[in-house]
Amino acid sequence: MTESERGLENDDPLAGSVSLARLPSLNRMTNMVDGVGATLYAYTSGGQLFTEDGPFASDTVTNTFVNRLRTNLVLQQPTVLWTAG
């Protein structure tokens, strides 16, 4: 990660260390690493949050958009698939 991609680092002893990285072209966060693990973020071509994956295995949130409005949200979990939409 280059300095321009680096977002913020937090060394709060109560919260633990948190490191964020961002996509400069969209000014959006691409990943976060904290004491629990890593979370990755992916975006649509319009810059809206498409997926959020982590910090646990098989816990991906996927958003669906129509005309820039979220129309569906799916949460993948290790034991069940939850959908709202």
Q: Is residue 39 part of a domain?
A: yes
What is the C-alpha separation between 39 and 53, in angstroms, rounded?
5
What is the pTM for the complete model shown?
Answer: 0.72
Helix or strand or coil: residue 77?
A: coil
Q: Is residue 67 part of a domain?
A: yes
Q: Is residue 1 part of a domain?
A: no
Domain count for the chain, please give it.
1
Domain that holds residue 43: 6-79
Q: Is residue 57 part of a domain?
A: yes
Q: Is residue 47 part of a domain?
A: yes
What integer pLDDT is reported at residue 43 of this predicted model? 93
What is the C-alpha separation between 48 and 68, in angstroms, rounded?
8
Length of the chain as a residue count: 85
C-alpha distance from residue 54 to each of 2, 26, 59, 71 (Å): 23, 21, 6, 22
Q: Is residue 41 part of a domain?
A: yes
pLDDT per residue over 13-53, tens digit each?
A: 655 788 889 988 888 999 999 888 899 999 998 899 999 99
